[in-house]
């Protein structure tokens, strides 16, 4: 899938639409999901134009990959869910249910997250 810079997260990164920022560094942005599914639901995205995990793993720099990984742990720390536990999910492609074609990790917690994937 080619990267489409009209996607909603690209617009957030360009400041064209607002977000509730949780944390940011040179390579990564974390912000609250607009439709939270748990008490804590934060999206972590790279600032670079990567469609999904495969694209990011293959082409992002080591610094970008390190920043992304660390930001997920940092978000868990600053939202207070690191101790009680949380889940990190990335939906990828059609079967994965990815709606926004810019790589993102969902960080969910603050209450029990439930079974890994519902049957159905």
Q: Which residues are catalytic?
A: 104
Stretch that binds ligand 5GP, among 33-41, 44-52, 57-65, 109-117 (CB under 6 A): 33-41
Minimum distance, C-beta of residue 102 to ligand 5GP, in the bound complex (Å)? 9
Name every residue whose Cβ is closer than 8 Å to that of residue 40 and which is 6 or more positions away in sequence.
Answer: 79, 80, 81, 86, 107, 108, 109, 110
Name every residue whose Cβ is closer than 8 Å to that of residue 32 and which is 6 or more positions away in sequence.
Answer: 19, 20, 22, 41, 42, 43
| Residue span 64-103 as binding mask against ligand 5GP, x where in contact by CB under 6 A, dash where not | ---------------------------x-----xxxx---
3-class state of residue 106 by DSSP: strand
Regarding 19 and contact with ligand 5GP (CB under 6 A), the answer is yes
Using CB under 6 A, list all residues that contact ligand 5GP: 8, 17, 19, 31-35, 91, 97-100
């Amino acid at each position: 899938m080619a990267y489409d810079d009209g996607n909603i997260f690209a617009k957030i990164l360009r400041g064209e639409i607002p977000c509730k920022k949780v944390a940011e560094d040179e390579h990564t942005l974390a912000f609250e999901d607009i439709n939270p599914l748990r008490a804590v639901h934060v999206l972590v995205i790279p600032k670079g134009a990567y469609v999904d995990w495969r694209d990011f793993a293959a082409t992002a720099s080591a610094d970008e990959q390190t920043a992304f990984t660390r930001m997920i742990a940092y978000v868990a720390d600053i939202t207070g869910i690191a101790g009680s536990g949380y889940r990190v999910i990335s939906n990828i492609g059609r079967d994965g249910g990815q709606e926004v074609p810019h790589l993102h990790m969902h960080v969910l917690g603050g209450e029990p997250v439930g079974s890994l994937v519902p049957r159905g």
